[in-house]
Structure 1
Amino acid sequence: MAAYDCDVLVIGAGIVGLSTADAITHAAPGTRVVVLEKEPGPARHQTGRNSGVIHSGIYYPPGSLKARFALQGSAEMVKFCAEHDIPHEVTGKLIVATDRAELPRLHSLIQRGREHGLPVRELGPAQIAEYEPEVRGLAAIHVGTTGVCDFGAVARQLARLAMDAGARIAYGEEVTAIGRRPGRVAVRTAAGTVYRARALVNCAGLQCDRIARLAGDPPGMRIVPFRGEYFTLAPERASLVRGLVYPVPDPAFPFLGVHLTRGIDGAVHIGPNAVPALAREGYGWRTIRPTELVGTLAFPGAWRIARRHWRYGAGELRRSLSRRAFADAVRRLLPSARDEDLLPSPSGVRAQAVLPDGTLVDDFLFAESPGIVHVLNAPSPAATASLPIGREVAARVLGVLGASWR
């Protein structure tokens, strides 16, 4: 049984875990960092299965961690991509109201954008057509700082930077046990390897609450996985959408609704919806893990979500089971879209933290205990804001170590 001694163990090689590792190695040179990842490579789950949007921060309440991280992170992400030749583009986006009931919420977003200092422009129907000739709406906002990039490539670059600075990344190492003594944390993996460190960072995403419990820290929440299903516009119809088009979000539910995204590859991605997944990594209806499903069903918060949001959830489920229903949602924004224009694309799963009373945690959630920092909720815009989030987590763990920024 091999033992690997280091200062900090980071569990999870998604974009937040890798940004944290990079931030530690550059803030405190000489700090020995090991990243443990159960998959054979980085960014295999949330990081590599999203729409690739660099969010501006317009949706997030002033003073929230989401707002702070997104406003700072979006500019940093564009700069990072430019410095490292990672494909990206600042396209701007439209948030479009298609119903009069949405107009007050749209106007609230305009005000919020101005409070954040974002370049927002109010548009009427004729001005919408100047940006997106095929999109229809009563009114819209144009947000100039939104863009797209390849977050998987960003994660791979962060991995290279961290390793160049001395970090080690161990793939294929699934954590199965965590032991603690004063001043030391020990982790055992499925392969039987033991890693001993002075401090641990839990950036395990879909598995973060499980890791917290392995460490003996009740997380006070549970990850309830929601699958987001996507379609792609048929290539011959991709010209219908020039950039990024979003509906006005429903404030009662922390998802942005079905939107249209022209990615860096030129393809137009449509989605996601949000339906309960039957496994934490349940990217399709056929993927079922009974133990995980039973755990979700035994959690009181899951039933409280269902009771509170059953009408919304029924609509999402209908769109999951019917391409026509999904296309109907698309046609609210893009009337010329046909059912046959929508080609199935890979799905993603969101790690949604839920409290026992059924509250969906809507902001970043961190927790600390002796020797450990847990990232228990890293919702969108986590990929956009991964650089400042990594520095935040690094500062917390260096504080645990008694190290200082240098």
Structure 2
Amino acid sequence: MGAYDCDVLVIGGGIVGLSTAYAVTRAAPGTSVVVLEKEPGPARHQTGRNSGVIHSGIYYRPGSLKAEFAVRGAAEMVKFCTEHGLPHEVTGKLIVATERAELPRLHALVQRGRQHGIPVRELGPAQIAEFEPDVRGVGAIHVGTTGVCDFGAVAAHLARLAEDAGASVRYGAEVRVVGRRGAVVAVRTADGTVVRARALVNCAGLHSDRVARLAGDDPEVRIVPFRGEYYALAPTAAARVRGLVYPVPDPAFPFLGVHLTRGVDGEVHVGPNAVPALAREGYAWRTVRPAELAATVAFPGTWRLARRHWRYGAAEAQRSLSKAAFTAAVRRLLPGVAEDDLIPAPSGVRAQAVLRDGTLADDFLFAGSPRMVHVLNAPSPAATASLPIGREVARRVLAELR
């Protein structure tokens, strides 16, 4: 290949990066692709640390990339899992209003779902019991296209499919330096290996803004990490939950609130609670990386976000520090649950892009520069939407090659 080791170099082996590699091999057979992932295997961060929900797309603003890709991606994800024998189930879910003040927002979701062509059924209190006998609310909607799967298994299978098509997926390859010279993009990994490519795709998730800056681009956003804290229900309590139960979300935030999720393994997860993480991979309060924390604190958008939403953040912090407060939030949906029913479960960290004015980036966010494509904001429902996102990123990077 002369001056190049590959045509397309993808940084990041989560579900979006691997979907992109797979999409490139499908759209342009013969294009050489290398994926660099710093961990020893795929999907070790956002992809492998979520509740596994295949989102319907009902929450997302019409015309947004989230709405377009989630609605399309949910159907594609179910089809992909079916065709490749990956564990999944279309369960449907309830979105439950626990007080009358939430009913207008619930009705707005009904209208939004119908705009997207999603099957939505409105339920009264008695009808809620038909789906979830132990859940209480003043009203609800049933969303028929929501399901669950194992996104880690999906990502691993995408890696295998990409490799079968000729791509190279390299683990334990942390990118330290990114440079451009003429028509060559080159990266150097932690062990000194240099990989030269005709074009680069940044799917680094929690580190996407940092990789963009390494490449000499100004992403104009900063990744502010939010830890999502989960519990699992003890078996006796888990028997009270049949499927997926969500509260009515606050439209001011991209977080969906504490919800109940029965996964493909039969375990019921409760959460997540969303609190600022003290490191980009800060899966516990005790995980602190001073340089990363200092960079987050120094970013003006962090303080503007905190000033604007401190009441919401204080409530989340209280639930993080107090199991009793977390239990009280769960009881809004499932009154019979007790503190002893909640068993600590692994946390996740959301890579949330924040603008300098403190605005949370609400949609998927892509940026480009010559021979580079950066995926700067791809939180939930990115796993659901990963197949169409991968095709979109592949389209962009192949255009750079042309």
TM-score (norm 1): 0.98
Matched with 1:165 is: 165
Distance 1:370 1:346 in 2: 39
Paired amino acid for 2:278: L
Q: Is the 8 A contact 2:125 2:138 kept in 1?
A: yes
Distance 1:273 1:250 in 2: 14
Q: Is the 8 A contact 2:4 2:198 kept in 1?
A: no
Q: Secondary structure at the match of 1:271?
A: strand
Distance 1:132 1:4 in 2: 57
Question: After superposition, where does 1:291-302 map in structure 2 within 5 Å?
Answer: 291-302=291-302
- Equivalences, count: 400
Distance 2:369 2:85 in 1: 39
Moved over 2 A (4+): none
Matched with 1:261 is: 261
Distance 1:24 1:358 in 2: 35
Q: Secondary structure at the match of 1:309?
A: helix
Question: After superposition, where does 1:2-401 map in structure 2 within 5 Å?
Answer: 5-401=5-401
Distance 2:95 2:138 in 1: 11
Q: Deviations over 1:233-266 (max 9, x none)?
A: 0012211100000000001111000000000010
Distance 1:236 1:134 in 2: 13
Distance 1:331 1:236 in 2: 16
Distance 2:308 2:24 in 1: 41
Q: Is the 8 A contact 2:4 2:184 kept in 1?
A: no
Paired amino acid for 2:178: I
Paired amino acid for 1:214: L
Q: Secondary structure at the match of 1:228?
A: strand
Paired amino acid for 1:254: P
- Residue 275 of structure 1 deviates from its aligned partner by 0.1
- Residue 4 of structure 1 deviates from its aligned partner by 6.8
Q: Is the 8 A contact 2:92 2:145 kept in 1?
A: yes
Paired amino acid for 2:234: A
Q: Deviations over 1:37-57 (max 9, x none)?
A: 000000000000000000000
List gaps (5 residues or longer) in structure 1: none
Q: Secondary structure at the match of 1:392?
A: helix
Q: Is the 8 A contact 1:4 1:194 kept in 2?
A: no
Distance 2:98 2:242 in 1: 19
Distance 1:115 1:219 in 2: 33
Q: Deviations over 1:315-358 (max 9, x none)?
A: 00000011111000000000000010000000000000000000
Q: Secondary structure at the match of 2:344?
A: strand
- Residue 182 of structure 1 deviates from its aligned partner by 2.2
Among the aligned pairs, what percent are the same residue?
79
Moved more, 232-241 or 11-20: 232-241
Q: Secondary structure at the match of 1:9?
A: strand
Q: Is the 8 A contact 1:55 1:146 kept in 2?
A: yes
List gaps (5 residues or longer) in structure 2: none
- Residue 148 of structure 1 deviates from its aligned partner by 0.1
Q: Deviations over 1:187-242 (max 9, x none)?
A: 00110000000000000000000000000001000000000000000012211100
- Residue 184 of structure 1 deviates from its aligned partner by 1.1
Q: Is the 8 A contact 1:245 1:260 kept in 2?
A: yes
Q: Deviations over 1:138-175 (max 9, x none)?
A: 00000000000000000000000000000001111111
